Amino acid sequence: MAGRQVDLLQGTLDLLVLKSLALGPLHGLGVSHRIAQITKGTFKVKPGSLFPALHRMEESGWLQSSWGESENNRRAKYYRLTAAGRRQLETETQDWQRISFAITSALKAT
């Protein structure tokens, strides 16, 4: 069931990206740092998977991007959540909670 596994992982990444942007717009490196920060270093997202995810989510209408200045006066592309993105975050959060509850219960079962 390799397919489902990939789906799950992709879903996780999406959830993490959406969550990290929920507090405000960030550029690519910012997203990567924020994810590391909120997962307490469990996940470190590399550009090879981060950028495809960001662009896919932008095409899906969940994110919007614009060019802006970074903290060090560098031109960088910032991503922000759209209304659809917020709704998506809600759905995915609920889904994730259901899954994680189910898996945890399953593992606890004797």
Alpha carbon distance 7, 69 (integer Å):
34
Q: Where are the beta strands (DSSP E) in the chain?
A: 26-27, 63-69, 75-81
Q: Give the pairing of strands 63-69 and 26-27.
A: unpaired
Residue from 52, 95, 97, 102 binding another protein (CB under 8 A): 52
Question: By C-alpha distance, which of 51, 48, 109 is closest to 101?
Answer: 109
Among 9, 87, 102, 104, contact with another protein (rule: CB under 8 A) = 87
Q: Nearest approach, Cβ of 62 to another protein (angstroms)?
A: 9
Number of residues that bind another protein (CB under 8 A): 26
The single residue among 70, 97, 100, 104 that binds another protein, judged by CB under 8 A, is 70
Out of 2, 83, 106, 109, which residue is the one contacting another protein (CB under 8 A)?
83
The yes or no reply on residue 51 touching another protein (CB under 8 A) is: yes
Cα 74 to Cα 63: distance, rounded to the nearest angstrom = 21
What the block records as the tokens of 10 is: 């992709």
Contact set with another protein (CB under 8 A): 27-29, 46-48, 51-52, 55-56, 59-61, 70, 72, 74-77, 82-84, 87-88, 90-91
